[in-house]
Each structure stands twice: as structure tokens, then as C-alpha cells.
A and B are shown apart, each in its own frame.
Chain A
């Protein structure tokens, strides 16, 4: 069965520090997709990135970067020079690529990031 673990329940950093959020997943499939979402205090989940299992290149988008390593089943998320607006709960999610439908989405428990001014 698929599973997503986010071992860090809460992280606090001071503004401008770099921070890495860990995500470890379990799946028996060779084809799958990984996602990161941001949930600010308003509650809505905001999509950040989608990565398939065949693409292990690191991704960078502004201050955000993602490190995908199949060898360790990890898909870690780094925020460089953190800002107060980055304070949120971040979820990692896994979806196995099958012919059926979106019920295969599995979310981790989330990591609450607090960026202090």
C-alpha cells in the first residue's frame, strides 16, 4: 500500500534562513507521481509542484527547490531565504499511475512551518 511520511510535525525558523521539509514515500509501483501543496492559514491547499517517477532532475522555482531521490524514496522541499509569508502547513502527496481514478491520492500528515520575523 502507498504511504507518505512527513516526520517533521513543526518547524520554526527565523526569516532569511533556509529550511528543508522532508517527504518519504512508499509504493510498489514503478510509475507514480509526487506532489507538494501549501496550506496557508486561510485553509485552501495551493498546488506547488508535480513530479513523475521517471524524472529525477531537481526542480527550482524562485526560492523553492525540490530534490527527488528514488534511491531513498524521498521528495524533499527546500525554501531558500524564507519569508514570513512562507508560514503554512505543507503537504506531500503520492499518486500511483493506474488506469483508475484519483482515489489513489495519499497525503502525508503535513509539516507546519513557522517563519519568524
Chain B
């Protein structure tokens, strides 16, 4: 079955640690995205990538980093510089990355900083 997988489902981190969230897709989509969701709020874009080895900052990129070495994979690192990282993180992909393309989402990773 084609889809987007994210791991782990739950992640706990101590303050000062970097953590990496995994996102993999087998939809053969060119574009991938990372969003952050806080309680009672909509989704905010962290980073997006149109093609391999290229990515752009979204609205709230500070304290996060990404890489896109393979078309299928778009991992997100939450660094110690992110002041309030506790949130639900959603990965998405779209066919060509055009503004009009539908984005499809993975199941999400819930990150908690202890």
C-alpha cells in the first residue's frame, strides 16, 4: 500500500537534546513537508522540499533542521535551540509540490520534552 509513514509515534526528549523524526513516503511524490500542530491551533509549516537535496524554510523554521538525500525520505531534526518543541509533528507529501497540489499526510509524531 502506498502512503506516508512517520516514526516514532511518541518521542520523549530531555531538554538540551537533539532528536530526529523520521518521514518516509512511497507515493513517488516530489515534494515533502513538515508541519507543527499545537493544541487548538492549525498547522504551521516548518520546512518543505521540492526535490532531492533542496529544501526551503517555512514559517517557523527556527530551531529545526532537515535533509533530503533521497526522494522517499525527509527527516526532521528538532534541535536544542527550539525553545518550545513539545507538539504534534506531521509530515506530508504532494505530487509535484505546486501550490495547487493536494497534500497527503502521515500519522504524526507526538514529541514531549521532559
Chain A residues near B (Cβ < 8 Å): 4, 9, 33, 35, 37, 42-47, 50, 52, 91, 95-98, 100-110
Contacts and interface: CB of A to CB of B under 8 A. Distances in A.
Question: What 8 A-B pairs come out closest when comparing CB atoms?
Answer: A107-B42, A45-B105, A43-B108, A104-B99, A44-B107, A107-B43, A101-B97, A109-B42
Interface in B27-56: 31, 33, 40-43, 45, 48, 50, 56
Given A96-B99, A101-B48, 11 more contacts: A33-B99, A37-B105, A47-B102, A47-B104, A50-B102, A95-B99, A98-B99, A103-B58, A105-B99, A107-B42, A110-B40
Contacts of A43: 88, 90, 107-108, 110
A110 to B, nearest CB: 6
Nearest to A4: B42
21 contacts: A9-B40, A33-B100, A42-B107, A43-B90, A44-B108, A46-B105, A50-B102, A52-B100, A95-B99, A95-B100, A101-B56, A102-B33, A102-B94, A102-B101, A103-B45, A103-B99, A105-B99, A107-B42, A107-B43, A109-B42, A110-B40
